């Protein structure tokens, strides 16, 4: 940088061009002014033409949701049509021996677990309600107002009881409602819950964005007190079952088609156990809510599959720490396929692995609760369970996120006969070959679900961050921002500095600036050469 107060020394002799002297520039100010007046308007026009228009605002739809409901184990993955034998899915009966109060157990078995609910509206005019966000199913369905639990038999008005406390839908009051298939909607989940009714199309709004003509299920019969917003793959829709109506554009597909987001991708952040809220970003990621870079993991396909049906990735290692020592769990069941399922409240692991973890933390299995009971005062400082995926990255789940207070349906704390609080471990054994990684895992991971490229991008979550930094997800194979390029060589326990991500982003922006404005650089160079020639 030049110092304007510094006295200049004699200038070095400069080579002349086209016979002009080195001092000619000072001798012909009128010529210089004339040239500038002649060329600057043209240069300004060229620069204006070369400069691109202002970039459009990023197409990202932030959706806030809240946590609600008492805790009990739930598995909300959709049950395939060929496996709908509910008798295989029943929870153990109250006849099993246990030392817990029968009345408490009966109330707990009626609980629906911790729910992550988001506010939506359906129909025209909009009817507000709350739906559970579920990454392991693919249908949006709502409670019909005609469900007996939602209607006052005396006056026909909507009841805000536990049967429909999250809202219901009256299709007779929507001018945009269109019936697509009467009694054609039917969905089963692996925890034995189900819903049946009609397929319809109507206006659906979430996160400030309105999706026209969204296909939904309108449940006239269900054993759930809330509807579901499934955001999975279209191949897993209930309508794809034998005899069904076939697949239809999902919520994220319609968002792309209507220009609301650029690609079929979204990110999910639940925050910690104590937080009442979380968020899902359709078409974007929030870099303030994860640590380091994201690691990209291809979604697994079942034998014979061309397109995935679930967000399944390979679990390659499990370890734990009690705060003093670190232990690896070896098992013939690893690697194992795990499904990322926001509709499940707990983490379901292969039985030997779940049993090993429970034993290390002195948790005892209760056949009556069908849960591992653990000391509510177990020391959690520096203790964690670590899961590694595809041999390239890992997520640590703090022990404080795995000790869950058990509550009754009424909201009160569940207690033993002697009045002690009951806490459970947020891990259970899986009853089949597919393990479900539910909320007790997802709270510790920031996850991007990329349906277009059939991959998951994941990082350690940042609990309770300050502020936000939302970045749009673009299109193409490299659409997700801040994916580490050296992910395949990272050690599972490697810690990545957030600042390195920011530096990488700055370099990319600089290169993009040069790539977008090449004409501007050429114009400036040409202008300077013309002035030099004529002067």
pTM for the structure as a whole: 0.74
Could you tell me if 483 and 530 lie in one domain?
Answer: no
pLDDT at position 51 is 57
Could you tell me if 242 and 380 lie in one domain?
Answer: no
* pLDDT tier at 432, thresholds 50, 70, 90: confident
| Residue among 271, 341, 439, 450 flagged as catalytic | 341
Q: Percentage of residues in the chain with pLDDT exceeding 70?
A: 67
Q: How open is the CA angle 19-22-23, to the nearest 5 degrees?
A: 115
Could you tell me if 311 and 443 lie in one domain?
Answer: yes
Average the pLDDT over 300-306 and give the result.
85
Could you tell me if 242 and 327 lie in one domain?
Answer: no
* pLDDT tier at 155, thresholds 50, 70, 90: low
To the query of whether residue 198 is one of the catalytic residues in this protein, the response is no
Distance CA(188)–CA(84), nearest Å, equals: 7
Per-range mean pLDDT, top range of 32-41, 364-373, 504-513: 364-373
pLDDT at position 161 is 54
* pLDDT tier at 152, thresholds 50, 70, 90: low
More confident residue, 366 or 8: 366
**Dihedrals phi, psi of 148, to nearest 5 degrees:** -55, -35
Distance CA(387)–CA(403), nearest Å, equals: 17
The string of pLDDT tens digits covering residues 4-37 is 333 334 434 434 333 333 333 333 333 333 433 4
pLDDT at position 493 is 28
Q: Is 263 in contact with 204 (CB distance < 8 Å)?
A: no
- At residue 508, does pLDDT exceed 50? no
| Residue among 134, 271, 286, 450 flagged as catalytic | 134
Could you tell me if 294 and 365 lie in one domain?
Answer: yes
pLDDT at position 290 is 95
Could you tell me if 195 and 241 lie in one domain?
Answer: yes
**Which domain CATH number covers 134?**
2.40.70.10
Average the pLDDT over 35-52 and give the result.
47
Could you tell me if 219 and 271 lie in one domain?
Answer: no
For residue 379, the enclosing domain spans: 262-498
Helix/strand/coil (H, E, C) string of 164-226?
CCCCCECHHHCCCCEEEEEEEEEEEECCCCEEEEEEEEEEEEECCEEEEEEEEEEEEEECCCC
pLDDT at position 200 is 98
- At residue 47, does pLDDT exceed 90? no
Distance CA(327)–CA(400), nearest Å, equals: 18
- At residue 146, does pLDDT exceed 50? yes
Could you tell me if 255 and 266 lie in one domain?
Answer: no
Residue 188 class from Cβ within 10 Å (0-12 exposed, 13-18 middle, 19+ buried)? Answer: buried
The string of pLDDT tens digits covering residues 74-121 is 555 555 443 433 222 222 223 333 333 332 111 121 223 467 889 999
pLDDT at position 441 is 97
Domain final residue pick, 199, 225, 260: 260
pLDDT at position 274 is 85
- At residue 363, does pLDDT exceed 50? yes
pLDDT at position 459 is 96
To the query of whether residue 134 is one of the catalytic residues in this protein, the response is yes
Helix/strand/coil (H, E, C) string of 310-324?
CCEEEEEEEEEECCC
**Mean pLDDT, rounded, of the chain:** 74
Could you tell me if 253 and 361 lie in one domain?
Answer: no
Residues 6+ apart with CB under 8 A from 155: none
Q: Is 113 in contact with 342 (CB distance < 8 Å)?
A: no
């Amino acid at each position: 940088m030049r110092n304007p107060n510094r006295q200049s020394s004699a200038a070095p002799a400069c080579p002349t061009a086209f016979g002009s002297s080195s001092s000619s520039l000072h001798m012909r100010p009128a010529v210089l002014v004339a040239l500038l007046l002649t060329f600057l308007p043209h240069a300004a026009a060229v620069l204006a033409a070369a400069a691109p228009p202002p970039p459009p605002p990023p197409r990202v739809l932030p959706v806030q949701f809240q946590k609600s409901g008492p805790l009990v184990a739930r598995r909300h993955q959709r049950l395939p049509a060929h496996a709908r034998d509910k008798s295989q899915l029943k929870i153990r009966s109250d006849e099993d021996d246990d030392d817990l109060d029968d009345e408490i157990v009966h109330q707990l078995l009626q609980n629906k677990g911790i729910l992550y609910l988001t506010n939506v509206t359906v129909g025209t005019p909009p009817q507000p309600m709350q739906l559970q966000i579920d990454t392991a199913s693919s249908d949006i369905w709502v409670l019909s107002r005609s469900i007996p639990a939602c209607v006052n038999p005396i006056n026909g008005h909507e009841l805000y009881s536990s049967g429909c406390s999250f809202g219901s839908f009256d299709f007779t009051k929507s001018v945009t409602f269109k019936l697509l298939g009467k009694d054609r909607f039917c969905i089963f989940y692996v925890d034995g819950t189900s819903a049946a009714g009609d397929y319809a199309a109507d206006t659906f709004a979430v996160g400030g964005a309105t999706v026209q003509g969204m296909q939904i299920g309108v449940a006239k019969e269900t054993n759930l007190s809330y509807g579901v917003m499934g955001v999975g793959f279209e191949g897993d829709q209930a309508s794809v079952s034998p005899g069904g109506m076939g697949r239809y554009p999902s919520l994220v597909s319609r968002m792309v088609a209507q220009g609301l987001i650029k690609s079929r991708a979204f990110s999910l952040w639940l925050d910690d156990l104590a937080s009442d809220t979380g968020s899902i970003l359709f078409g974007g990621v929030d870099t303030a809510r994860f640590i380091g870079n994201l690691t990209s993991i291809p979604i697994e396909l079942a034998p014979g599959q061309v397109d995935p049906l679930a967000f399944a990735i390979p679990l390659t290692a499990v370890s734990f720490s009690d705060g003093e020592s670190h232990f690896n769990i070896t098992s013939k069941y690893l690697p194992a396929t795990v499904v990322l399922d926001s509709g499940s409240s707990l983490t379901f692991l292969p039985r030997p692995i779940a049993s090993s973890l429970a034993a290390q933390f002195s948790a005892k299995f209760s056949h009556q609760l069908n849960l591992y009971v653990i000391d509510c005062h177990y020391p959690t400082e520096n203790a964690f369970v670590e899961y590694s995926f595809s041999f390239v990255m890992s997520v640590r789940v703090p022990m404080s996120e795995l000790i869950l207070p058990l509550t009754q349906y009424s909201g009160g704390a569940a207690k033993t006969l002697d009045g002690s609080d009951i806490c459970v471990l947020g891990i259970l054994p899986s009853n089949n070959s597919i393990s479900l990684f539910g909320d007790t895992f997802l709270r510790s991971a920031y996850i991007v679900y990329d349906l277009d490229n059939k991959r998951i991008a994941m990082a350690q979550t940042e609990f309770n961050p300050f502020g936000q930094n939302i970045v749009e997800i673009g299109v193409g194979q490299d659409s997700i921002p801040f994916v580490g390029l050296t992910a395949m060589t990272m050690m599972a326990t490697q810690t990545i500095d957030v600042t390195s991500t920011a530096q990488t982003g700055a370099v990319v922006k600089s290169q993009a600036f040069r790539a977008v404005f090449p004409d501007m650089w050429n114009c400036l160079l040409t202008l300077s050469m013309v002035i030099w020639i004529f002067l």
